[in-house]
């Protein structure tokens, strides 16, 4: 069930995570190249939208969002009548990203300056910082850096009009939420509704697919959106060649010995030669021991034996029980002593060489705004419900560094035990963790453009343009905007839908998923779209998902697409063919090969207990397949069959017969 790595250390074979996603990049260097103004590709794209009153910048970690803000803010100060710039960051440590910068040396017209007095990301009480914030508004200085908390406290006693002609920039904007009790969200709404301030919102992980949206739709429509996708960022690196996203399953506790290997799950998957951030489980999760400090001790015990803690830096020195060498480990979980925490963070901010740190153990820290370019492996224990959190964690390992060619994200996931009372929760967590990685594959892979076969314009304008027979174009601007910039957010909604979770392990026919379930979800998310636009958006979702799960190959001067076990000439792609492919099936094929038979049975039984509702549209679509089944086998599909596909056909047959009985009764 588990694949062993070829490399071993001290006679111990490490086990590869089961990679659902493995994306290879071309190392073009394009995303890191700078233009005559000193801007990278993403920064230039953002600067082109600098006159927008409300700007939403969605770009990956390490793409240079902080410097993009500096360029835009300086233009607003000099050329757009803005008198003050306020930058708010979630953590004090992230404030260092907005320290003074020499921009004129690379061709820009001004340098970024911050007076030390108005850098409020320093130790001290928030009350004094609020007073300094208010004094700043009446001062001659133009730039202030503070935390989200300081902004919130200051806004409580502030007349919003005092922010007129100010630029308020919110870093890590996903901390905002449309939820009523989200205080930062209330601040943003207050600024928008009661002041003339400009706003720049910056995030690398903006997903309305999370349980609570970042912005209400009516507020978001006021923002000009600039999106720089992950594929363009990573494809434009110099050194990073590939990224893997995978799983490793375990039972019991991750730090206790597994019956089949004699090692803990953490020991099985942790390669101490890789620079690693270990994110321990949330204290409220089923995977946690509920004691976060003890959790760190368990992790260290899996690695080796503590030798000493450096009094100057706070770094732990642990002797590996595998290799015997000393590993330098940073503990970012222990927050009982702020001075000790500050020592560790100061040390990490000044890391210059690979050998400076080996492993970081984190809980809430080291997820965003944290720069460790040498990091090769983000190892996360337990299911993470938020797509925003997952993408932030992955972002810690995707910095470009000449010391690494591959980055890896591994999720250690607890397997359900067939006799465990929590089996339903464990099954749901497994399915949700897998769908989260499915979405990450969509985010991290190259984007395709699709055109109708009869279109003459832009034919073959690039290798990512594919012509499709039966393809429908969107008719409204809203549908075009969804397709252009919201597909990943829509896929997040689709992949987190409860019915979709139950459907994807082969419980529904692909045509039902693609032509019945997905459009139903689209109508729920975008109730004002016409039927024609729902179909256009649906086709884009399905096409994009299928193509990103496929491989394009060239043979004899012709291009073919390998998808779902078929080899199709790219010129023969028809939307009806695409609709016969389950774009998400591969994840569950991997799952079925990676867990034991009784675990797979527990998953199937749990889904069976929450039957998927049969709809008339699905039953009608399945009727030809029922007839085909009967002709092929000589029997009707059986409700008690082990095959979920046969079960579903039998359910459809029961549904159709019951509907026929009702109609006949009504007619009589």
Radius of gyration of the chain (CA): 27
User: Which of 652, 628, 660 lies closest to 516, judged by CA?
Assistant: 652
pLDDT of residue 3: 39
Domains within the chain, CATH numbers bracketed = 4-25+237-414 (3.40.50.300), 30-234 (3.40.50.300), 443-610 (no CATH), 614-668 (no CATH)
pLDDT of residue 297: 92
pLDDT of residue 202: 92
Cβ atoms of 317 and 325 closer than 8 Å: no
pLDDT of residue 448: 77
Kind of pairing, strands 4-9 and 316-320? unpaired
| DSSP notation for 43-93 | HHHHHTTTT-SEEEEE--TTS-HHHHHHHHHHHHHHHS---EEEEEESSGG
Cα 539 from chain centroid (whole Å)? 23
Residues of the chain with pLDDT under 70: 1-14, 20, 124-127, 205-213, 259-261, 365-369, 385, 416-426, 456-463, 504-507, 564-566, 585-612, 640, 665, 667-668
pLDDT of residue 592: 65
| Rounded Cα–Cα distance for residues 356 and 43 (Å) | 31
User: Which of 144, 138, 94, 140 lies closest to 114, judged by CA?
Assistant: 144
**Angle formed at CA 176 by CA 125 and CA 545, multiple of 5 degrees:** 145
User: Is residue 439 exposed (0-12), middle (13-18) or buried (19+ Cβ within 10 Å)?
Assistant: buried
Kind of pairing, strands 558-563 and 566-569? antiparallel
Cβ neighbours of 241 (radius 10 Å)? 16
């Amino acid at each position: 069930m588990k694949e062993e790595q070829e490399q071993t250390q001290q006679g111990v074979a490490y086990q590869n995570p089961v990679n659902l996603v493995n994306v290879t990049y071309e190392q073009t260097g394009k995303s890191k190249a700078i233009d005559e103004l000193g801007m990278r590709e993403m920064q230039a794209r953002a600067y082109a939208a600098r006159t927008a009153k409300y700007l939403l910048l969605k770009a990956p970690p390490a793409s240079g969002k902080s410097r993009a803000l500096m360029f835009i803010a300086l233009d607003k100060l000099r050329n757009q009548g803005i008198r003050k710039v306020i930058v708010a960051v979630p953590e004090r440590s992230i404030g260092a990203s907005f320290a003074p910068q020499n921009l004129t040396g690379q061709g820009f017209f001004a340098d970024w300056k911050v007076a030390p007095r108005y850098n409020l990301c320093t130790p001290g009480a928030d009350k004094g910082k609020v007073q300094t914030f208010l004094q700043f508004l009446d001062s001659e200085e133009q730039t202030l850096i503070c935390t989200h908390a300081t902004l919130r406290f200051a806004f409580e006693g502030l007349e919003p009009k005092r922010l007129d002609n100010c630029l308020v920039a919110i870093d890590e904007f996903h901390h905002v939420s449309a939820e009523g009790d989200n205080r930062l969200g209330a601040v943003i709404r207050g600024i928008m509704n009661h002041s003339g301030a400009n706003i720049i919102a910056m995030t690398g992980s903006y997903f309305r697919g999370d349980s609570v949206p970042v912005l209400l739709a009516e507020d978001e429509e006021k923002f000009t959106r600039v999106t720089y996708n992950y594929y363009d960022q990573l494809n434009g690196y110099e050194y990073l060649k590939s990224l893997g996203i995978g799983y490793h399953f375990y039972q019991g506790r991750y730090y206790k010995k597994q019956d089949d290997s004699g090692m803990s799950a953490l020991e099985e998957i942790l390669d101490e030669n890789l620079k690693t951030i270990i994110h321990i489980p949330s204290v409220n999760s089923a995977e946690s021991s509920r004691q976060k400090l003890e959790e760190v001790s368990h992790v260290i015990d899996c690695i080796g034996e503590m030798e000493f803690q450096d009094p100057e830096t706070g770094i732990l020195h642990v002797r590996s029980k595998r290799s015997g060498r000393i590993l330098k480990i940073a503990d970012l979980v222990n927050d009982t002593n702020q001075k000790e925490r500050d020592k560790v963070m100061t040390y990490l901010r000044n890391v210059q060489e690979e050998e400076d740190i080996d492993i970081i153990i984190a809980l809430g820290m080291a997820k965003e705004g944290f720069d460790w370019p040498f990091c090769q492996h983000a190892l996360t224990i337990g299911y993470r419900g938020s797509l925003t959190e997952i993408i932030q964690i992955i972002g810690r390992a995707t910095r470009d560094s000449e010391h690494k060619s591959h980055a890896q994200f591994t999720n250690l996931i607890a397997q359900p035990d067939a006799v465990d009372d929590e089996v339903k929760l464990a099954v749901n967590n497994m399915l949700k963790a897998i769908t989260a990685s499915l979405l990450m594959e969509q985010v991290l892979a190259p984007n395709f453009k699709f055109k109708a076969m009869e279109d003459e314009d832009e034919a073959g304008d690039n290798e990512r343009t594919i012509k499709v027979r039966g393809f429908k174009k969107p008719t409204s601007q809203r549908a075009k905007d969804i397709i252009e910039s919201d597909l990943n957010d829509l896929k997040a909604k689709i992949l987190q839908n409860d019915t979709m979770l139950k459907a994807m392990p082969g419980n529904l026919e692909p045509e039902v998923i693609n032509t019945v379930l997905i459009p139903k979800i689209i109508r729920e998310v975008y109730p004002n779209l016409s039927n024609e636009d729902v179909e256009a958006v649906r086709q884009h979702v399905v096409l994009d998902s299928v193509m990103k799960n496929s491989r394009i190959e060239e043979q004899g001067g012709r291009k073919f697409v390998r998808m779902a076990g078929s080899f199709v000439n790219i010129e023969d792609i028809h939307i009806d063919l695409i609709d016969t492919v389950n774009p998400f099936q591969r994840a569950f094929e991997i799952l079925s090969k990676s867990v034991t038979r009784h675990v797979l049975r527990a998953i199937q039984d749990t889904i069976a207990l929450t039957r998927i509702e049969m709809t008339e549209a699905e039953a009608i679509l399945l009727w030809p397949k029922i007839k085909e089944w009967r002709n092929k086998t000589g029997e009707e599909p059986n409700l008690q069959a082990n095959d979920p596909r046969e079960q579903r056909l039998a359910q459809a047959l029961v549904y159709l017969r019951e509907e026929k009985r009702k109609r006949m009764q009504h007619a009589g």
